[in-house]
Each structure stands twice: as structure tokens, then as C-alpha cells.
Amino acid sequence: MRIDVRDVTKRFDSFIAVRGFTLEVRPGELVALLGPSGSGKTTLLRIIAGLEQADEGQVLFDGDDSAAKGVGERRVGFVFQHYALFKHMTVFENVAFGLRVAPAERRMSNTDIKTRVMSLLSLVQLDTLAARYPSQLSGGQRQRVALARALAIEPLVLLLDEPFGALDAKVRKELRRWLRRLHDDMGLTSIFVTHDQEEALELADRVVVMNQGAIEQVGTPMEVYDTPATPFVYEFLGNVNRIPCTITGGAATLWGLAVKAESVNGAVVPPGDAPGFAYVRPHDIEIAAGGAQKAVVRHIGAAGPTARLELEVAGVPALVEVQLSRQAFFDLHLRVGQAIAITARGARVFPAASVPG
């Protein structure tokens, strides 16, 4: 099912949670709404589900305005952040709920309900726990019950609010892959909200980066990671060094690399001298004798697939993070306190006025 969000605005008193938001989700797509808390992503998801009314704008399902349809008529499965399982019902009854409350003329027989619920429970690998209560389940199991319950009404659209937020790292990884398979197998159109960039980049077909109720950038995980549209996206997707620099004649030089400054967020690159910030990813910094900038190694983290260094660089307030392959790290024989030289391989420069906070 295609979902069109058109120019949606939502206010809570004087606070604007979502401002003029427009997004098209194609059938079969898995889209992530990524942003810090307070960026309006959950509010937007709730508006799409019909749990919240937009003040302006519309949400269309396959071209039909959803405004007239109640929450229950949209065939939208919603998975809540804290699962919102019915505490006083067993796992079986939780999943059966949507089937039992269907209008009499559409309601299935008890036998059919039983068959459907048990097949959903075996899909989420919980068929042996059907008689348990939510309080007797682990976080990951509760999450899967919530999913099975949402899927019971055969939704065309699946909406998930921070679906893995409360789970530990290992369970999160497993559930992520499992959710991706489920989405593909069932031919769903899904939107999920997250503040975890890794989750969004790994799981989604497209990532919508949100800030203060509006879109900063929409693109595939590759696009948003490789070519962030704004300084905000750079900082939010993490793993980037922000280096203060001076823009002269529309460009700046960072550690031997000349970079053209870019105008964003209405902040135009001035013709003369102006303060700016250079963004450089940890893996875009090279350590080599004869490098353009002197630095001192302050910290080494060599466990894992890549080595992480923190360098002290004159003129940079924070420590600069560098990522090296294991092999390169061992070849360099680095130790803490050693003086080295670095060169930037790639960076982007924005005027200081466009940079948040």
C-alpha cells in the first residue's frame, strides 16, 4: 500500500511537533524515521496510524484520504514502544484480541481464531508460551507478541515505534534481521521510528532524517551516510569529527586538503573570510610521515575489526577520532603519547552559521 503524507503539521499548544511534513512511501518499502527525541518522529507515526489528528495536511492510503477512517478501519498494525500488551490477558488472548473484537458479520469462528493465532505464534516462535502472561515474558518475547498481535488483523501497513529500543544488543540484532525477513515475506509496507542510526542504516530501504518536526534529508542508507545534506545529518549519523576552520574565498584547507565550502540551511558561503566547520569521517584521516598536520596519540582502542585512535590536534578543542584497519594499525607500531602527522583524504566544509548548537 502506498502512503502519502502531505504537508502535515501538528501543534501541541505552542510547540510545533511536526511542521509541513511531506513524504511518499512506496508499496513494499521499509522506511525509517530517524531523529533525536523531540524531533516529531513518533508524533508523525501516530498521525499516520490515526492515533493523533493532524492540524493541517492529509495522509493518503493508496490515494484515499484517511481522515474519515477511524484508527480501527485503516488496517494499520501498530507496535508500541513499550509493547502495550494487555497485562491481564494471556499471550494467546493478546494475539486473538483483534479477531475477537471484529464486527459480528466479519468475526471468525472460535476454531478459526485458534488456528490463526497459533500459526501467528509459531511464526514469531512463541507457540509454546501461548498460556503465559506478558509479565512472565522477556523483553524480546514481549516484542514478538506485540508484533504477532499487530499482524493478526492482516494489516497492509506496519508501523513500529522504537521497536528495539528496550532490548539488549544481541536480541536487538536478531530481531532486526527477523523483522526485515517478515516485512519482505508478508509484502508489508512498513515505517519504523528510531533514534539509533545504526538500526536505521542497517534495516531500512530509505531513511528519513528528522529534526525539529521537519525533514533534514531523505535517502537510501548509502546516500545519507555518504552525502549528508546538512551539518545536522552529519552530526546525527555520528562518527564524524567537527573541526573549526576558516573559510577564505569560498574554500578552506584542512590538513593538506582544499575543500570548497557549501551553502546549506540558508547560510550562504560569504565571499570574504568567515568561520566555518569541516566535517571529516574517522576513516578519511590518513596517518603517514610527512603529513600536513602534527598530532599526538592520546588513546588507542584496538579491540574489534578496526582500530580506533584519539588524537590531540592543535587548534581542535575535542580529540580527533581516527579509524584504521587492523593491518594498518599494526604496521604503524603506534603507542600512546607518540607524535605523528595526519592528512585528510576527504572532508566537507559548511559556514559556521549553518551548524547546529
Helix (H, G, I), strand (E, B) or coil at 105: coil
Does position 51 interact with other proteins (CB under 8 A)? The reply is: yes
Kindly give, in sequence order, each residue whose CB lies less than 8 Å from that of residue 47, ignoring residues fewer than 6 positions away.
5, 8, 10, 18, 53, 54, 59
Give the number of residues in contact with other proteins, rule: CB under 8 A. Answer: 25
- The burial of 99, by beta-carbon neighbours within 10 Å (0-12 exposed, 13-18 middle, 19 or more buried), is given as buried
Residue type for position 43 = T
- Check if the beta carbon of residue 44 is closer than 8 Å to that of residue 33: yes
Does position 67 interact with other proteins (CB under 8 A)? The reply is: no
Give me the sign of the Cα torsion angle 34, 37, 39, 45.
positive
Stretch that binds other proteins, among 66-74, 194-202, 313-321, 340-348 (CB under 8 A): 66-74
Does position 49 interact with other proteins (CB under 8 A)? The reply is: yes
Shortest reach from residue 34's CB to other proteins, in Å = 23
In DSSP notation, 167-222 reads S-HHHHHHHHHHHHHHHHHHT-EEEEEES-HHHHHHH-SEEEEEETTEEEEEE-HH
Does position 18 interact with other proteins (CB under 8 A)? The reply is: no
Residue 193 C-alpha cell reads as: 521510528
Stretch that binds other proteins, among 65-73, 168-176, 226-234, 254-262 (CB under 8 A): 65-73
- Cα separation of 194 and 81, whole Å? 10
Stretch that binds other proteins, among 67-75, 117-125, 214-222, 287-295 (CB under 8 A): 67-75
Does position 166 interact with other proteins (CB under 8 A)? The reply is: no
Measured from the CB atom, the residue of 145 and 208 that comes closer to other proteins is 145
- Check if the beta carbon of residue 61 is closer than 8 Å to that of residue 189: no
Does position 154 interact with other proteins (CB under 8 A)? The reply is: no
Shortest reach from residue 51's CB to other proteins, in Å = 5
Shortest reach from residue 80's CB to other proteins, in Å = 6
Does position 326 interact with other proteins (CB under 8 A)? The reply is: no
Stretch that binds other proteins, among 1-9, 147-155, 263-271, 300-308 (CB under 8 A): 147-155
Rule CB under 8 A: choose which of 30, 44, 76, 200 binds other proteins. 76
Measured from the CB atom, the residue of 72 and 356 that comes closer to other proteins is 72
Closest by Cα among 351, 348, 355 to 274 = 351
Does position 133 interact with other proteins (CB under 8 A)? The reply is: no
Q: Is residue 321 within a helix (H) or strand (E), and if so which, with residue range? A: strand 320-325
Does position 352 interact with other proteins (CB under 8 A)? The reply is: no
Q: Which residues sit at the interface with other proteins, rule CB under 8 A?
A: 49-51, 70-73, 76-78, 80, 82, 84-88, 97-98, 101-102, 149-150, 152-153
